[in-house]
């Protein structure tokens, strides 16, 4: 059974910050709440005021620990990209898009050309009938 000093919760704060851990009611630190957030085998502690709380959900220790492990803050340490680097990357991407659009257009042209080829000669006609029809298309050959 959890005692009051062992209450585990997910605390949602104004400003869209959510903390999960072992919560201690306000008291010795000027009315500030204390939350001990699991960090591996240890804890790190944060304090917050009652006015900053949007919602407190009382949960089991297992749920609070699972919440912390799935919602860890990942440090972002990427170098800053200069305008020139950004513009060069954009130019490369534009070139690739143009190249791919050209390839698509060529494939569409080829497919259209294949579909425009005459159908196979029916068995009742021979090659000479087909050639004669092509030469005299739209006019009577004997008339």
pTM of the model: 0.45
* 3-state secondary structure (DSSP) of residue 108: helix
pLDDT of residue 3: 46
- Number of Cβ within 10 Å of residue 61's Cβ equals 14
Q: Which architecture does CATH list for 4-70?
A: Roll (2.30)
- What average pLDDT values come out for the chain (143 residues) when binned by 10 residues? 68 85 78 86 87 89 84 56 88 95 92 71 55 52 47
pLDDT of residue 117: 63
pLDDT of residue 81: 75
d(CA 15, CA 9): 18
Delimit the domains of the chain by residue range: 4-70, 82-116
According to the 3-state scheme, what is the secondary structure of 14-64?
CCCEEEEEEEECCCCCCCCEEEEEEECCEEEEEEECHHHEEEEEEECHHHH
Quote the tokens at residue 141.
């050959």
């Amino acid at each position: 059974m959890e005692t009051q000093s062992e209450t585990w919760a997910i605390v949602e704060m104004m400003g869209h910050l959510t903390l999960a851990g072992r919560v201690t009611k306000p008291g010795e630190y000027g009315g500030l709440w204390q939350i001990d957030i699991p960090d591996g085998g240890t804890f790190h502690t944060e304090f917050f005021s009652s006015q900053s709380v949007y919602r407190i959900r009382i949960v089991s220790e297992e749920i609070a620990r699972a919440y912390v492990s799935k919602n860890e803050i990942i440090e972002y340490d990427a170098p800053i990209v200069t305008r020139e680097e950004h513009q060069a990357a954009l130019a490369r991407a534009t070139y690739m898009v143009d190249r791919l659009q050209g390839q698509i257009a060529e494939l569409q042209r080829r497919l259209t050309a294949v579909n425009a080829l005459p159908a196979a000669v029916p068995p009742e006609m021979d090659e000479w009938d087909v050639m004669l029809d092509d030469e005299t298309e739209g006019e009577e050959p004997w008339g």
